[in-house]
Structure 1
Amino acid sequence: MTETAERVPVACPSCSPDVETVHEVLTMGGGKATVRCTECSHVHKVTPETDEEVERDVVVSQDGESFSATVDAPPKETVAVGEEFILETEEAIMVVRITDLQLSEEKRTDEAKVEDVETFWTRAVDNVRVNVTINPDDGSHDDSTSVKIDVPGDYEFEVGESEEFANEEFKVKSIAIRDDAEGYHFNPLSEEGDTAIAKDVKRVYGDDETSSAWSAW
């Protein structure tokens, strides 16, 4: 049983000098590859393109603090605010979402090629801290309390559903969505059954259910 030959798209000097066609790689050596055109069977040598990457600075925001790191990426790749990528640091491997792209000291943009980017501004999204405002069960807003809860980035909140974290129990009333989140048609979400995952959430608003919770005593 033979292995399937590796195939690469390159121009063929015999039948297609201007347009790339599929070629089978026959041998590799000396920085060159011997290939055979699958259209006309012409055999010739090519110099494979190298996967060049450039190093760029990354600033990561996590739980109200920030730290710096670096990432290697193809210079011609287009990146945009809202996209996520895996960042490896000496301390941990995490998923981060791009919140801003800095091209120079005074210029920022929502989309650019990696080669034009000076710094990726990001926030960690695999584990996140969500702000929650809880209103008293009597409907007033004067005595509202604010808490922060730590959950996985893909944890789902649903309007109308009850949540319980430590000593807090509340019913989700509405959900404010972050500016860098995509796929939501309304902001805030307030219809019963509306859902959002934690990494997309700016703040959850809920009605207190702690005092009305059933107790056996």
Structure 2
Amino acid sequence: MSDHDAPPAQVPVECPACGAETPHEVLKAGGHATVQCTECAHTHKVEVPEPTTVDVDVVVSQDGESYTTTLDGEPEETVAVGDEFVVETPQAIQQVRVTSIELSGDRRVEESDLDHAATVWTRVVDNVAVNITVHPKDGRRDETRSLKVYVPGDFEFVVGETKSFGDDEIEIEGVQVRDEAGDRYRHEKFDHEGDMVYAKDVKRVYARDTKTAAWSAW
């Protein structure tokens, strides 16, 4: 989102010296800004209205917990499902992705300007929890189990690669993509060797246990 503390680089006003209505460089911001004409270089004062901003409630979700903060911006700025931005919360400064936008009356939309958005729902994507379904190596001794790992959002899950997480060693067999990340990928699920999905885009990983010894009756 925009940094509203920074003055505009230029404003279109009429120059009292040359009479041209042309962009002026802002030399000193404020209610009565000091500007310089880009046509004749004349410097003068002009009233520049401060930009109007709005605050929108943001719900931040991370690993089953939720907390709230706010997002400020110009009323006409748009926010859409899949957008990412940085928020500051009591917990930390975090990168989040929009998962849903709520208007007044509990109506959900894919995109809205900030002036009409009541609540923006997000989830943290700089560090994420990824659910992994692990199939047994031999298919007989062990049953399918679930594993949750915590990795950076840009961690790569590549089909066919072997990964170690603590005492677990698994081979990636497939990756299911989250709904809001669908536009970034060709398919919703990948299972061909070399296919890659970033952790922040993963809905679930399917893998094979590579450390379980094969069962033997002897």
Structure 2 counterpart of 1:185: 186
Structure 2 residue aligned with 1:88:
88
Cα displacement (A) at 1:32: 1.2
Identical positions, percent: 48
Q: Aligned-pair RMSD on alpha carbons?
A: 2.3
Aligned residue for 1:180, secondary structure, equals helix
2:204 corresponds in structure 1 to 203
Give the secondary structure class of the aligned counterpart of 2:184: coil
1:9 is aligned to 11
Shift of 1:146: 1.0
Aligned mates of 1:56, 1:145 — CA distance in 2:
41
Partner of 2:144: 144
Q: Distance in 2 between matches of 1:94 and 1:160?
A: 31
Kept in 1: contact 2:11–2:26 (CA 8 A): no
Deviations 1:150-181 (A, max 9, x none): 11111111000001112221100010000111
User: In 2 relative to 1, CA 25–85 (structure 1 residues): closer, same or farther, beyond 3 Å?
Assistant: closer
* 1:94-144 CA-partner distances (Å, limit 9, x unpaired): 11111000002331101010110100111111111100001112357x921
Distance across 2 between alignment mates of 1:102 and 1:22: 38
Query: What is the letter of the counterpart of residue 102 of structure 1?
Result: E
* Correspondence 1:150-189 to 2 at 5 A: 150-181=150-181, 182-189=183-190
Question: 1:172·1:206 contact (CA, 8 Å) conserved in 2?
Answer: yes
Paired letter, 2:25 = E
Letter in 2 for 1:157: F
Flag structure 2 segments of 5+ consecutive residues without an equivalent. Answer: 1-7
> Aligned with 2:91: secondary structure?
coil
The aligned residue for residue 101 of structure 1 is: 101
Q: Write the mapping of 1:54-133 to structure 2, written as runs, cut at 5 A.
A: 54-133=54-133
Q: Tell me the TM-score normalized by structure 2.
A: 0.83
Checking the alignment, whether the CA contact within 8 Å between 1:15 and 1:40 is kept in structure 2 is no
User: 1:52 deviation in Å?
Assistant: 2.9
State the shift of 1:41 in Å. Answer: 4.7
Structure 1 unmatched runs, 5+: 1-5
TM-score, normalised to structure 1's length? 0.83
How many residue pairs end up in the alignment?
202
